[in-house]
Structure 1
Amino acid sequence: MAEKKNKTKSVNIKNKRASFDFLLLDKYTAGIVLTGTEIKSIRAGKASLVDTFCFIHNGEVWVKNMYVAEYSYGSYNNHAARRDRKLLLNRKEIRKLQQDMKSPGFTLVPTLLFIDENGRAKVDVYLCRGKKEYDKRQTLKEKEDRREIDRQVKRY
């Protein structure tokens, strides 16, 4: 039999602001419960993780405020663009996250939305702690220093 060729383009939707605003600690990869029109929009790259966060309710992890554009060829049963979507994690991972989030200053932030090799939508979720203003300034300074070093290396 002929092998299936992977014709899907890679979809990597990032939350670039998360690493600036938060100190990323633990990474979890979770599946998402989606409807048919939602996965088609994500495969087309029409989604955004800006201002999204996760919360735990009744032993389930939910992502809030994730934008997935309405599918252009969808009919009357098209999805709502910003709705709460359930994340799929193991019970053990959810219990650990609940325990970690009890301490103040910790939150769950989705950083990357991607399609895996089996065609399923996945989200990388980080347990993070918010940065203070001076931490953000330090991050900007380190970024500018790295950029300056790269410029010097390219000149010679």
Structure 2
Amino acid sequence: MAKEMNNRQAYYNYYIEDKYVAGIVLLGTEVKSIREGKVSFNDSFCLFDKGELWVRALYIAEYKMGTTNNHIAVHDRKLLLTARELKRLEAKMKEKGYTIIPLRVFMNEKNLVKVEIGLGRGKKTHDKRETIKKRDTERELKAYIK
């Protein structure tokens, strides 16, 4: 079974206000690569184009057993959401400071690849320091309790 891939950097750089689970349009070799856990979220983000939501810069490594029909590692991939969710997200994106970030890629119980996306507001530098302090104190408490 495939492991779940998380975007830890997103929680560090953004306050996540809403989360949505979206389907993603993939090729066969991309699904095989995701099952092997070959996904990287570096600088990936979501954007709207003609009323559709796309994820950009999501790296899915080429499948090592693929043939000449292997996929391109980095290209725009369409996300599948309901019309109501798309309208809600597009309205929020027009407000200043909001962005949509992929948070994790996973396979559901039907073995379909899903992407959890989050509506986030960027953190300032001092907010990031607070996040680091909070994480360090929690880590120390866990070590002290054990």
Per the normalisation by structure 2, the TM-score is 0.97
Q: Which residue of structure 2 aligns with residue 5 of structure 1?
A: none
**In structure 2, what residue type is equivalent to 1:57?**
D
Q: For each residue in 1:63-113, what CA deviation from the matched residue of structure 2 results, as whole angstroms up to 9, or x when unmatched?
A: 000011111121111110000000000011000001001011100000100
Q: Which has the larger radius of gyration?
A: 1
The code of the aligned residue for 1:113 comes to V
Runs (5+) with no aligned partner, structure 2: none
Q: Which amino acid aligns with 1:31?
A: G
SS at match of 1:77: coil
- The equivalent residue for 2:40 is 48
Work out whether residues 45 and 101 of structure 2, in 8 Å CA contact, stay in contact via their aligned partners in 1. yes
Identity %: 45
Task: Evaluate the alpha carbon distance shift between residue 36 and residue 10 of structure 1 in structure 2; reply closer, same or farther with a 3 A threshold.
Answer: closer
Once superposed, what is the RMSD of the aligned Cα atoms?
A: 0.8
For residues 23-62 of structure 1, the aligned pairs below 5 Å read 23-62=15-54
- Cα distance between partner residues in 2 of 1:111 and 1:153: 30
**Partner in structure 1 of residue 73 of structure 2:** 81
Q: Aligned to 1:17, what secondary structure does the other structure show?
A: helix
Give the letter for the 2:4 counterpart: N
Equivalent of 1:100, from 77, 92, 99? 92
Gaps of 5+ in 1: 1-8
Deviating 4+ runs (over 2 angstroms): none
Q: Give the number of equivalent residue pairs.
A: 146
CA distance in 2, matches of 1:133, 1:92: 34
Aligned residue type for 1:151: A
Q: Distance in 2 between matches of 1:116 and 1:87?
A: 16
Asked whether the equivalents of residues 2 and 37 of structure 2 are also in contact (C-alpha less than 8 Å), the reply is no
